[in-house]
Amino acid sequence: MPSIHHHISTLRAALNSYRGQQDSKQCIALVPTMGNLHEGHLELVKLAKQHADIVVVSIFVNPTQFGVGEDFDSYPRTLDADVAKLATVDADYVFAPSIDEMYPVLPPPTSVRAGEITTQLCGQSRPNHFDGVGIVVSKLFNIVQPEVAVFGQKDYQQLAIIQQIVRDLSYPIEIIGAPIVRAADGLALSSRNQYLTEDERNIAPVLHQELQRLAEQLMQGQHLEQGLAPLLTETRARITEADFKIDYLEVKTAQLDSLETDGASASFDGNQQELVILVAAWLGRARLLDNQLVTVKLP
């Protein structure tokens, strides 16, 4: 079973034993989570084990990244079950702090803001969400001091923001993006999937199916014939007809630049470009995220 720590001081003391002399130093990886773990989280731990000697999994439902009216109070907290699952993938440490341990003052007067990248996509409907992500991830990096940290690509914007924070704050940490883990019918695994009713769960795979359809249209060059906007309009209509309420459906460069910007044009490779289709949509109580990378021809 992994060793469980609820206090910063005891976790730091435990990890210090691995930092020794250079010839005996062991690589530490961090996998940040909010708990209520599923197979997608366990895949993050498995990937971390491939890149490090010691894996620390944090379990903390972070209040600073929840907005007013969001599901902070009802977010599932299942520490005992989470620890049992982590034992099956050989996680070494679990860091499960209290809110008071992480935030002596709440809300914290200090913030970590990543600028313009946070104002698009999820940032439009959750304007303070990524400020909360920024401070909690920065604190975890300082507490654990890992050489490696693993994040899922399902939260594509979050991953891009964390990569930017690591670059700009000069954290000596390698950020690894883990591929999306999906159910057999294609639905991206998420703790919030449990909010779906049985009927909604049957509908939910439509989201990924429509991303795949749009990706195929782009690969076939249909955006060159009729423009990107009509393809997005048609995709939005099909998703809406399936009873989703769309937050956003957009196509960006892989670096999350808008396609119209000079920055995007400057990154073109000949007449091809790697793009990412991103979607967030409500189905009942569940806000579902998904994305699909695709390489396309550009005019």
Q: Is residue 288 within 8 Å of residue 207, measured between CB atoms?
A: yes
Known binding-site positions for beta-alanine: 65
Q: Which stretches within 171-272 are classed as H helix?
A: 198-203, 206-219, 222-226, 228-241, 262-266
Q: Is residue 83 within 8 Å of residue 45, measured between CB atoms?
A: no
How many whole angstroms separate alpha carbon 106 and alpha carbon 64?
8
How far, in Å, are 152, 244, 258, 270 from residue 205 at the CA level? 19, 11, 27, 35
Per-residue tokens: 212 = 């795949």
Known binding-site positions for ATP: 34-41, 152-155, 181, 189-192
Instruction: Say whether 51 sits in a helix, a strand or coil.
Output: helix
Amino acid in the structure at residue 246: I
**CA atoms 252, 256, 258, 263: torsion sign:** negative
How many whole angstroms separate alpha carbon 48 and alpha carbon 29?
6
Is residue 41 part of the annotated active site? The answer reads yes
Known binding-site positions: 34-41, 65, 152-155, 158, 181, 189-192
Of 6, 7, 41, 208, the catalytic one is 41
253 Cα distance to chain centroid: 17
246 Cα distance to chain centroid: 19
How many whole angstroms separate alpha carbon 30 and alpha carbon 166?
14
Residue 188, number of CB atoms within 10 A of its CB = 23
Q: Which residues are identified as catalytic?
A: 41
